Amino acid sequence: MIEVENVHFSYPNGVEALKGVSLTIRNGEFVAIMGQNGAGKTTLVKHFNGLLKPSEGKVRVDGVETTKTSVAALARNAGFVFQNPDHQLFSETVEDEVAFALKNFGFEAEVIEQRITWALNLLSLTQYRKTSPFLLSGGERKRVALASVLAWNPNTLILDEPTIGQDYQQKEKLRQFVVQMQTQGKTVVIVTHDVEFVAESNPRVVLMKEGTIVADGEGREILTTPEVLAQSSIVLPQIAQIFMKLAPLGLPKNVIDVYDAKEIILKALEERRK
């Protein structure tokens, strides 16, 4: 469990990025933190594994206050994937990059080999195993950074803008993996502007603005309320926009998932044929 209690945080230049944020994320939850640039999203999630410490207030991860333990200790259970993979990558090959944390955490050689193979296969990176990550595209480097964290199987996974540079197929793989993690009781937190990805995943949504939380609730509710989204400069998902227009025909307004939309429309057409 991640507990954020009245947290304030200011950077050395005096910018107050968080202004009394309180939030609880329970084990096994999938949470999307959304808002415009400068809202404090990345600053907030960097508190979840101790990369940043609060200027005021408290952050506890599984009951441990982050100011009283090391980043290394927190990182074992809370893996963080940066928005810019170049802030995270440093090894000569993709294989070495994925192996690095596994070796530091004391995994046996056989397990390390298995975890590398699994992570690279999951993210379609097997062909780049012996390649320098710095020779790959931005989207591929982002997948390498993700693989390097997934390989050690943390209890909490924090992803900062994970869908940037990824095509639809890779986004769908990521969505399916998040579902898989949830079935294993893992916690997933993403920071994202990708409203369509969030709509298809339907996590709990936390909206931020100017260092504060302005809305927190189930994705279907938040993402179909234009007034709430406007506070954080978020537009309605495309499916929600369509069903808002179709509401006068008797169709529901709170639809955000493309598969739900398909079933509802097919059912409505079938009823009209009768």
pLDDT confidence of residue 128: 95
DSSP-derived 3-state class of residue 87: helix
Residue 7 has pLDDT above 90, yes or no: yes
User: Rg for the chain (alpha carbons), in Å?
Assistant: 20
pLDDT in tens, 23-73: 999 999 999 999 999 999 999 999 998 999 999 999 999 888 999 888 888
Other C-beta atoms within 10 Å of 223: how many?
Answer: 28
What mean pLDDT do residues 265-272 have?
84
Say if residue 274's pLDDT is above 80.
no
The amino acid occupying position 106 is G
How high is the pLDDT of residue 75?
A: 82
Convert the pLDDT of each residue in 241-263 to its tens digit: 999 888 888 888 889 988 888 89
Q: What is the pLDDT of residue 273?
A: 78
Query: In the structure encoding, which two tokens stand for residue 224, read together?
Result: 């179909």
- pLDDT average, residue stretch 180-192: 89
Q: What is the mean pLDDT of the chain?
A: 90
pLDDT at 198: 93
Q: How confident is the model at residue 22 (pLDDT cuts 50, 70, 90)?
A: very high
Domains in the chain: ranges and CATH = 1-77+156-165+177-235 (3.40.50.300), 84-153 (no CATH), 237-274 (no CATH)
Please check the confidence at residue 182 and state whether its pLDDT lies above 80. Answer: yes
H helices of the chain, in order, are 41-45, 71-75, 94-104, 109-122, 138-150, 168-183, 195-201, 219-222, 226-231, 238-246, 258-273
pLDDT band at 139, cuts 50/70/90? confident
Position 253 scores a pLDDT of 85
What pLDDT score does 43 carry?
96
Grade residue 104 by pLDDT with cuts at 50, 70 and 90: confident
What is the pLDDT at residue 171?
87
pLDDT, one tens digit per residue, over 109-129 is: 999 999 999 999 988 899 999
